Structure 1
Amino acid sequence: MPRIKGFWLYVVLLVVVLAGATAWGVLSQQTPEQKAAAAARKAKNEAIAAEQRAQQESRRHEKFAVEFCETRYKEMNADRQYTPAMLRLHSMTCRKMRDDYRAKWGQDP
């Protein structure tokens, strides 16, 4: 007989565990208000991430433009077919782009 008592103990224990797991699953589901709040947070976070990506892309593009300007100025200066006025204008343009970048982003490109 002790063997049958042990069997029923395991059956009761299994039923209690399954009932507890079912109750836990039902009680842990989100309410519609919680789902709406989570969706709003997700949308807000996605908007912030999109804005940061756009800002990084803009920064990268502006940095590339400044570096290209300076590279082109070096090429023009080495070529010697450009007049000093043209070189001066290009140099001032590059300097202005660098200053604008520094003012906008707070660091050199």
Structure 2
Amino acid sequence: MTTYIVLLRWTEQGMKNVRESPRRLDAAKALLQEMGGSFRGFYLTMGEYDMVSICEAPDDAVAARFALTLAAQGNVHTRTLKAFPEDAYREIIRSLG
């Protein structure tokens, strides 16, 4: 599984219906699970982004489909970062020669 960090900001619609956000989170978790992935962590944050999630998905196509599905609902804007674990980081740096 590949790890992704998803940065989320509420849209005006999402903020207007913020009290429904926990239900939407549960639906997002179920959706990602149906796609073969999972949430590893979720955080309400202060600053430029409103929420951050750590997710795993089988591949980039699933991660993209998940992010696009969330965004299409109109409650959040997403920014997805592919994350490399420490072992992969070390191997990438070693490969530089």
Q: By percentage of residues, which structure has more strand?
A: 2
Q: TM-score, normalised by structure 1?
A: 0.25
Q: Which has the larger radius of gyration?
A: 1
